[in-house]
Structure 1
Amino acid sequence: MARWRTAIRAALFAAATCPSSAQDTGFVNGRKDLSTEDSGVVPGRYIIELQPGGQGRRARTRDESGVEAVVQDINSLGYDATVKEDFSGLSNRFDGGTVEISLENDTTIIDDIKNIPGVANVWPVHHISLNVSFETTSGSPEWNPHTFTHAKEVHDRDFTGAGQRVCVIDSGIDVNHPALKDNIAGGKNLFDGSDSLEDCTGHGTFVSSVIVANNKDYHGVAPGAEIYMYKIFGCDTTTSTDLVLKGLLAADADNCDIISMSVGSKTGYRYAVTARVASEVAQDRLVITAAGNDGQKGPYFASSPAVGQGVVSVGSVEADQTLAWPARIVSSSGESLNISYVTPTGFKYNETLDAELTLDTGDSCNIQSFANEGAAVLSKRGVCPSSWAGRTIVNRGYDYALVFDAYNQGFYYDVDFAENFWGDIKLFAIVAASVGDWARAQAAEGHTFRLVINADADPISGDDTEIPSAGHVSEFSSWGPSYENDLAPLISAPGGFVYGAFPDGRFAVSSGTSFSTPYVAGVAALYYAHAKKDKDEFIRRLVSTSQTLPAFSDSDKKVLAQNGPVAQQGAGLINVASVFNHEVVLLSEPALHLNDTDNRVNTHTIRVQNNGNEEVVFNITHVPSSTVSSRNVLWYVNTYYPPLTDAAVSVDAPQLVTVPAGATQEFEVTFASPDDSKDSGALWSGKIVLQGSNDQAISIPYLGVEASTYEWGALHHGAEVYYYDQNTGELHPVDYTGKPYRAAEGGSPEIWFAFRYGTYEFSIDIVGEDYTTDQFVYPPVAAVGSDAWYGPIRQQPVIGWSPMDFPMREVVRFSQGSFVTFRSLANGTAIPSGRYRILSRALRIFGDASDPKDWQLYLSDSFSVQLGDDPVPESGSTTTTLDAASTAAVPSSQAPSATTADVTSTTEAVVSSATTSAPSSTVTEDATSVPGSTTTLDVAAEPTGLEGVVSSLRLQRHQDPSPMLADASVWMELHILIDIPRPVPANSVVQFAIPEEIVDVADGATLSTSGSSLGRTTFNKETRIYSFPTGEWATWHKNMRGDFYVMCRFDPDFARAMKPGTYVVEFPVAGGAVLQSTIYHTAVDRTEVYERLSMIPYDGTTLFSADIEVPASHGPWDWVQLETSLNTIDGFVCDQSGVYVGRASCGDQRMRSITDVTEASTDLCQTKRYRAKYQNTLKGNEVLRFTVAGIQGNWNAWTFEFVYALDVQLTNGTMVLYDYKAVKFEKNPRTRAAEFDHFSGEDARQG
């Protein structure tokens, strides 16, 4: 069947990351203009540090601070600067302040300021946002997390922290809150200088309550301590690093023993200004700070000041309690059922209720009944999100809803409802499945119900059995290490689903490392008040007694390994009682930083002291934690949850160490790197555990990475520069039109980039067309000419964001591409008419900016800019070819490959095909082929016609299976890319030849553009020539482009005879050139994977079931895995899904002698995700069946659809990655029309 289709111009986009999650899936996968908040930078604002006695070029006046003097010097350089913050006199740790500079003349300002005498350093100011939300109530929660951390054992000894002050740097505090008012010592407003400590956001009030709250139902970690607040926020949820710095210096100046900071920026660099100053303050103060809430970003997303040396950075652990509340359902039979219910936020319904209760026959997503006024509904829990269900319930008129668990979804807090439901409902609660069973039995006898709730009821359950994540590291908790491989977080504490005080006398529930941080500050208050004020000993006790938590994936809701990675949790969950009780304490560093392969420190000394009265003999053991793969094959950081690897490290240490009473002992441990390659990116960790004869154990965490941080580099390749066509929404090579860009008309190339790792400085610069990277010096020197460096650009967005000047410093890593446009240089200077290139540059970690070798430097293709009526100087070329643009600025060893979607998402094992008849294709040069020989498919043909216009011919697997296309999996798409730069005669023809192994080539289609016909395609099976005319339209257009594909397939006899290996398909084109498409093939026939679809009545709705059967002939294998997911509305039904092995029947394609292997093979089954892995072999005519079943969230929807991936690990080491297959059930099948506009071009006629 012949079929044509306009194709997405994916070939233009160099893939920047192999997908490791749905969140970070590509470089150019959606148009996203970079904003100043994306970059993290506050435009035009800089923190300046003065040298001791620094005052600028001139002597200060008597009333002038050092910062004010420097501002005068800045203005003398032609800038317009003012003082924003002045830190003079706050603390001797840091002398300086913040200046604000007009963006109209801001370019190499940092280097200019650094050159002013007396200036020590300059940093850009970064945004800081409170990335948390609160659900509030007027009631006081009866909640106690202190058993979980063993703090209760300390409280039972009447340790309350009385007399100890904790200094909190945050958003303010409700000084009249009944749970706090007796524990507030005062504070300072550093935001606007007023006396008010008002907390508009609630964040500081909540944080403070974790430390000192004290009322009948709820108390903090140290309810006898006091809070001193440093307010650095106004009435929104953002502040900046200079105010954080101001708060830190003020707390230091006030001699605070304990400083708690639940704020930070996403600049995980050791020498970021807040990290550096926090490190200095931490030399004498206990500085405790949040690790951050960006766990989804995966490793290497630490924050500042959390990465500061000596700072205690705190990760988050999910609370182990669920607050359930009592209610009663009364039946008209006279019977009643006492139940417990859980609300989305954990708060109870705080009113007395006696309401009519209707048992609905549908589910929560498809309520069938209508409510009387003030009524409640009891329904089965559907598979749609609860926010959707809430809207459905409200639309049916109900004020109250009880939803009993179904499909094994669980009985716990519903975050989706709490965050996404905005309707008017008084109660939405989840109850156990048994409630539904009881009500159904009563209703079957004709009885009706009432719901009774007592407002004064106390919680009745702290059960965590229904909460998969309870007691595990929170998904949102940021991973370390820093970009310099320093450990952060250092430890973890309760921060997930935490209760606390909120302004106006209310209480709230929230989650974040913002709340695990004050928990540790509260523990410090207990220790300082009741043990001793020794920050170093406290930190060593805290870390060495913490408990390692398992590796738990919140996405999969399952434990992946017994010991989770140190990069995620630090030393683990704190044990408060052990902090106080241990007699043997650590004297050496609390954590061992092994760094990367360039900076590896293999041998470390551990020193311990026995404060007890008896000798202690320690058994020394090495307990490794899970090793994670920190990066993918393109060296982009793997996002949450990064894959676990088998890389193992060995440790040489004494087996026994004896420490006499009152004595000190030390010993050495030496680490041997994992049995993995030095550039694998394996992030390995664990603990050295000392188990004492006194039944006390201490442990020291360690962390290292198998990678050169220096060689990693932020850039996979240079920034990609494109022309964006606003009419078609397409990206083209940068000089596609041959016309100059005009800044006055808003014209600008789009410059796309992403960061796979950190960099101290990144810039996008304008350079002359003849500039080479060998000319680069730092700092760059601006000049004029064809080989000159002109300067960095000013990002000038089209919409109303603030402009942002390059360079960017202390870059916030992101692996999804964003683009910038520009109209001028960063200093506001217009770009003169000329030919230019983009220089993109990034400084390597541990690099020296003054050494050009320590920079990644890339140049783009050239393009023209025209200023006013000034002509653009002549250039040898006005058009850039597609091939050049698609790999612009990319070293040959790292050139991006144009691959099919399934290939780009493969692991680093083998890129391979999953079908005999329709192998995948790729044009990558560095992919690893499957075992086997290389075969070239050529054709003896000599096409004629237009030369040099066929840019690319590429085979790939058919991507859009149609119910109208028989045996869809055997078909391939031959993608054809045509570029015709100038008008051609009307009788012109485009030709290329196709090898005889490829058959059933579609022809006879009419090519068209904008209503004009170019003519019909033809394919001569004898000559193997494919051709089409360009038509009259091509005589008066230029820069014509065609991008389409034609269906074809391999000859069936040839396909059956194909052996595993590499196939190079050659396509001769006019002029004697030959284009190639490379195929990596394994002898696995996708057509033999049999699918059977069925729809049957089930539980009041329809069950959609798909049997996917894989025969033994696809092996021998080590394992076969099927994985799939659903949209947000529909859901899988686990007890109707399974894995089975049986014998194939030739007659009716049914399995016989079936064995159920579901329990051993099901790896994951949730309402939205399903994964099963069969790890045994089959023999003879045996068949493996995966049964995947689900129901609709919306019973009125037309379709139920999911896409599954089938992977096979063959015993010969080959990984077969099947194409993603769509399974679609339609209640009312429909056909859809196709469009046939294939060519575009510009009018070339004069006038």
Structure 2
Amino acid sequence: MSKKFFSSLTLITATIILAGCSGGTIPTQKSLPAPHAPQTSQPTTKTLQSQTRWMVEFETQGVGIQRLSVQSFSKLAADQNIQYQQNYAYSRVFNGVSVTTTRGNIERLAALPGVKAVYRVGQISLPKDVPAAAPSPALTTALAQTGADIAQNEMGLSGKGIKVGIIDTGIDIDHPDLKDHIIVQHDFVGDNYGKPGNYVPKPDNIADDCNGHGTHVAGIVGAHGTVTGVAPQASLGAYRVFGCEGSTYDDIIIAALEQAVADKMDVVNMSLGSFGTWAGGLRSEVFKKAADAGTIVVVSGGNEGKEGPFATGNNAADQNTIAAVSYEATMLNLNYFTANGVDVGFIKGSASAPVPTTGTLPLTRTGTATTTNDACSPLPAGSLTGKAVLIRRGTCAFTVKAQNAQAAGAAAVVIYNNTAGYISPSVVADIPVVSIEKSAGEALDAKLAAAEAVTITWKSDIKSFPNPVGGLPSDFTSYGPTQTLAFKPDVAAPGGQIYSTYPLEKGGYATESGTSMASPHVAGLIALMLEARPTLKGNLERVRGLLQNNAVPAAFKGTPYLDAVHRQGAGMANVVKSILNPVYTEPSRLALGEVQGTVSKTVRLYNNGTKALTYKLSVAPAVGTYGTYPVEFSGEVPDVQLQYSTVTIYPGESFPVKVDITPAPDDRDGVVFGGYIVMTPSKGDVVRVPFMGYKGDLQALPAMTDNVMTMFDPETGNEFEQIDGAVFDFSKGQFPTLYFQMSYAAQQIVIDVLDGRTDKPIYDTGSEVYVENDLPRNQLLNPDRSPYYDFTWYGGAKKAQLKAGVAVTKTVKDGAYRLRLRALRAGGDPTNPEHWDTWISPLFYVKN
């Protein structure tokens, strides 16, 4: 029986680690020499035999197969003298074990009868959320945005009797808002795990949180005290998978989910994820088994909004999870000053002088409400002495503006935004620097333009101010769809500017932003739904469907359309409507995939109520987007034809409605489009069904857009781009490195070696030296990620490198070669040459 062998497992991974790839930096736009530190000599045998972590999956069915248990697997391995260390054994969400061993041993384990597949375990970084601009008024306004306040105060719901597991950095078990609700806790790692060089788990007896992320997440779900969570009486399970810092491993995350299922958690929140990776494989199996066991898994959608569409991470991309994205909170608690009696909320600059709490200053300005480069040039000496100066954001850094004003004698700087919303300015100055929102700044500018004297007075207290972008999708929230055009994200909740619990030693409370905050809000809403309707327990699809049918999508500012479906999913969740609305649809969402013409779908309405209901059917179009980064929005909307304009559904019955959807004929290929089918009753709650699709042929998009071959010279420490005729002296540690940039995800990449004289593979049987499936595209805007993948060839031939997962010591003979890199586009047919991008390196010579 053939075995599946996977070189990497990307469950919940925040970084992609390519076997054989160094992961170093890439010369910017091929500008060489540049700093780089690839391996400079042949790897030693010790390097090759280093221990790595693997998941070993056992067969579960099939004629004539050997079914393994942990004990029988251990005995088989011992009989073959195969040494390994068992990390975890699984039976609920995965059938097999996690082991640490050498690559050679794992190949022998994979060959044992009854072993179905092996997966290399990936590493996961701590969740990285978005810095919050300002304190928020607890969770009060966030609860109001999803109806959780009504569910609590008018319906008497609290999540009581519902168990919610938090797989994260742990929970501060002494926090007064949380400690009485923690019914189970498991620490899988210990405090020091994840620190440099320390990846040996030493679990504590308690799952206490020394980072903060998990405590903040737990408070959103179920705090009860200074902060009131979404489900303040829910029982919490703390599953700690991170130390105080650093990273963890996939098998630990799976072990935590296994334990949560064993503990019969009704809901599990995982505010963990990755960028633009693929669903499927082991990950889907794990999540499906959790769902089959009755545990609904809610995950964060990702914080990569600037990277544009197709950024959904692997957890969020999976159809067995509910992926939550973020809306901004509607109100903010801010420090403020008064300007001629009007309160103006502000946010202090990060490294400016302290802001006074008393005193007054006259206000002046250096530009107008249309100046694009306000205060970017030096200002006349003494021109601002003793005054606060109003400066518009734009063109140059905040520090430049502030220090120019300071040099001109200003006593304080007030920077106003040039777009809606508050900002937290990164600024260094010896005078106070604060930022205010756009409309407040323009109002002050208008007074000064009218020659009105304006005086500001600093105040010591805090007031609540409307958030100009409240109730809209957060800028940071990641776009879908998935790499295979599946419908994602699912639903939205407040995640921007959320004030919640934090470890006591770190102040007890903090404001954080991110889809990490939206996900536990949805988990809390589900707890309320399960309390109100216990028959929903364990029914992932029905719970998701009710959330989606009753969500309210946000408008796209400045247009008559709604925001992109692949950005906000079904829209802002509403728990009251999700509980009380007797009508739902199947499906609750439509993923149209590639559309080249008209696609027809059927939506069936179900009435579980006691009265006949008549609905008027209509369509609310949403904006579309082109490409990835930078995000470009479409002004065209699809044509949607509904089979009926009105329908009547009687109690206990259902009614099918055919829907024909055609992308806008004037829109160009490559647009991700969408909208909402809206069903409005004469009395009752609206039901919506979101849809999204892709116009054209996804395989027409080149995955690979930029390539270069370089040589790192260990003698000089420089790296240079290579052209035809380069000579690599392997004995001196000179090896060819390929840098390749993926603008779209690739279903597979293959690197092989060609004879430089014939451009044919160097062996008749094939000469792949690297193969990787399901590669995400590069993150071009994330400073923590290289905008390129890189691969260094150490002379390995045939499939030796692929099997080893690292460099091999065997080298080819002296001669002329080229490296060929091929990328199979997302959804492509591997037998169709047009679905492959191919790049062949310059000719080079190998000298051993």
Partner of 2:19: none
Give the residue type in structure 2 aligned to 1:121. A
Paired position in structure 1 for 2:94: 94
The answer as to 2:48 corresponding to 1:48 is no
Q: 2:347 aligns with which of 337, 343, 346?
A: 343
1:259 aligned to which of 268, 273, 280: 268
Deviations 1:804-856 (A, max 9, x none): xx433331212754544343433422423222221323345456779999865
Q: Which residue of 2 aligns with 1:502?
A: 502
- Counterpart residue identity of residue 650, structure 1: V
Closer, same or farther: CA 377–128 of 1 in aligned 2, 3 Å: farther
CA distance in 2, matches of 1:823, 1:353: 64
Residue 526 of structure 2: aligned partner: 524
**CA-CA distance at 1:316 after TM superposition:** 1.2
The 1-side partners of 2:130 and 2:636 are apart by 38
Q: What is the identity, as a one-letter code, of the residue corresponding to 2:459? A: I
Q: Is the 8 A contact 1:146 1:221 kept in 2?
A: yes
Q: CA deviation at 1:646?
A: 2.6
Q: Distance in 2 between matches of 1:440 and 1:166?
A: 56
SS in 2 for 1:146: helix
Of residues 114, 118, 124, the one that matches 1:118 is: 114
1:754 to 719, 738, 741: 741
CA distance in 2, matches of 1:685, 1:610: 26
Q: Which moved more, 1:128-137 or 1:296-305?
A: 128-137
1:414 paired to 2:420: no
Whether the 8 Å contact between 2:381 and 2:407 is mirrored in structure 1 is no
**Given the superposition, is the C-alpha separation of residues 462 and 453 from structure 1 closer, same or farther in structure 2, using an over 3 Å criterion?**
closer
Aligned-residue offset at 1:523: 0.7
Rate the CA distance shift 1:63–1:532 in 2: closer, same or farther, 3 A.
closer
Aligned counterparts of 2:700 and 2:450: Cα–Cα separation in 1: 68
Which amino acid counterpart does residue 477 of structure 2 have in structure 1? Answer: S
Unaligned runs of at least 5 residues, structure 1: 1-23, 37-41, 330-335, 553-558, 632-637, 776-784, 793-805, 868-1247
Q: What is the rounded CA distance, in whole Å, between the counterparts of 1:188 and 1:850 in structure 2? A: 48
Please give the secondary structure, in 1, of the residue aligned with 2:534.
coil
Q: Does 1:232 align with 2:241?
A: yes
Matches of 1:241 and 1:683 in 2, distance apart? 32
Distance 1:71 1:684, change over 3 A: farther
Q: From the superposition, tell whether residues 168 and 367 of structure 1 become closer, same or farther in structure 2 (CA, over 3 Å).
A: farther
What amino acid is aligned across from residue 532 of structure 1 in structure 2?
P
In structure 2, the partner of 1:646 is: 636
Q: Which moved more, 1:839-848 or 1:525-534?
A: 839-848
Matches within 5 A, 1:763-802: 763-769=750-756, 789-792=766-769
Instruction: Please tell me the residue identity of whatever aligns with 1:50.
Output: F
Paired with 2:27 and 2:721, the residues of 1 have a C-alpha distance of 21
Q: Which amino acid aligns with 2:257?
A: L
Q: Which has the higher helix share?
A: 2
* Conserved 8 A contact 1:765-1:840: yes
User: Which of residues 797, 821, 824 in structure 1 aligns to 2:792?
Assistant: 821
Q: Which residue of 2 aligns with 1:220?
A: 229
Is residue 342–residue 411 contact of structure 1 (8 Å, CA) maintained in 2?
no
CA deviation profile, 1:405-428 (whole Å, cap 9, x unmatched): 65x63785323x2xx347788884
Alignment match, 2:846: 865
Cα deviation digits, residues 1134-1191 of structure 1 (max 9, x gap): xxxxxxxxxxxxxxxxxxxxxxxxxxxxxxxxxxxxxxxxxxxxxxxxxxxxxxxxxx
Secondary structure at the aligned position of 1:163 is classed as: coil
Matches within 5 A, 1:192-591: 192=201, 193-216=203-226, 218-266=227-275, 268-283=277-292, 284-325=294-335, 327=337, 337=341, 339-344=343-348, 353-355=357-359, 378-383=388-393, 384-388=396-400, 403-404=413-414, 409=418, 413-415=422-424, 417=425, 420-421=426-427, 428=434, 430=436, 432-433=440-441, 453-454=459-460, 457=461, 459=463, 461-464=464-467, 467=468, 469-504=469-504, 505-534=507-536, 535=539, 536-551=541-556, 559-560=558-559, 562-586=561-585, 588-591=586-589
CA distance in 1 between counterparts of 2:283 and 2:622 reads: 31
Offset, 1:258: 0.8
Corresponding position of 2:167? 169
Query: How far has the Cα of 1:155 moved from its partner?
Result: 2.6
Aligned pairs, number: 756
Instruction: Give the whole-Å Cα distance in 2 for the aligned partners of 1:501 and 1:326.
Output: 24
The equivalent of 1:665 in structure 2 is: 654
Q: Distance in 2 between matches of 1:281 and 1:646?
A: 41
Q: How many Å apart are 1:195 and its aligned residue?
A: 1.6
Shift of 1:241: 2.8
User: What letter corresponds to residue 794 of structure 2 in structure 1?
Assistant: R
Correspondence list, 1:794-943, <5 A: 806-814=770-778, 816-825=787-796, 826=801, 827-832=807-812, 833-846=814-827, 858-867=839-848
In 2: Cα distance, 1:440 partner to 1:720 partner: 55
Rounded to whole Å, the distance in 1 between the matches of 2:337 and 2:668 is 59
SS at the partner of 1:807? Answer: strand
Partner AA of 1:838 in structure 2: L
Question: Alignment partner of 2:318: what SS?
Answer: coil
AA partner of residue 278 (structure 1): F
Cα distance between partner residues in 2 of 1:46 and 1:668: 48
CA change 1:246–1:821 in 2 (3 A) is same
Post-superposition shift, 1:577? 2.5
Q: What is the alpha-carbon distance in structure 2 between the residues aligned to residue 72 and residue 813 of structure 1? A: 44
One-letter amino acid of the structure 2 residue matched with residue 315 of structure 1: V
Contact 1:713–1:845 (8 Å) recurs in 2: no
Deviation at 1:496, TM superposition (A): 1.7
TM-score of the aligned structures, taking structure 2 as reference length: 0.77
Distance of aligned partners of 1:860 and 1:385 in 2 relative to their CA distance in 1, 3 Å threshold = closer
8 Å CA contact retained: 2:170, 2:214: yes
- 2: CA distance, partners of 1:200 / 1:45: 26
Q: CA deviation digits over 1:998-1036, x for unaligned, max 9?
A: xxxxxxxxxxxxxxxxxxxxxxxxxxxxxxxxxxxxxxx
Judged with a 3 Å threshold, the aligned counterparts in structure 2 of structure 1 residues 574 and 140 are, in CA distance, closer, same or farther, namely: closer
SS in 2 for 1:687: strand
Distance in 1, Cα, partners of 2:279 & 2:699: 15
Q: Is the 8 A contact 2:492 2:570 kept in 1?
A: yes
Secondary structure in 1 aligned to 2:521? Answer: helix
Counting aligned pairs with the same residue, the percent is: 23
Partners of 1:678 and 1:829 lie apart in 2 by 53
Deviation at 1:230, TM superposition (A): 0.9
Shift of 1:151: 2.6
| Contact 1:593/1:601 (<8 A) preserved | no
What's the CA shift for 1:72? 8.7
In structure 2, the residue matched to 1:721 is: 709
The CA deviation at 1:680 is 1.8
- Do the aligned partners of residues 615 and 828 (structure 1) sit closer, same or farther apart at CA in structure 2, a change above 3 Å counting? same
Query: d(CA) in 2 for partners of 1:33 and 1:298?
Result: 29
State whether residues 57 and 94 of structure 2, in contact with CA within 8 Å, keep that contact through their aligned partners in structure 1. Answer: yes
TM-fit CA distance, 1:208: 1.0
Check 1:453–1:199 CA distance in 2 against 1; reply closer, same or farther (3 A cut).
Answer: same
C-alpha distance in 2 between matches for 1:473 and 1:705: 21
The whole-number CA distance in structure 2 between the counterparts of 1:249 and 1:628 is 39
When the two chains are superposed, the root-mean-square deviation of aligned CA atoms in Å is 4.5
TM-score by length of 1: 0.54
Q: 2:317 is paired with a residue of what secondary structure?
A: coil
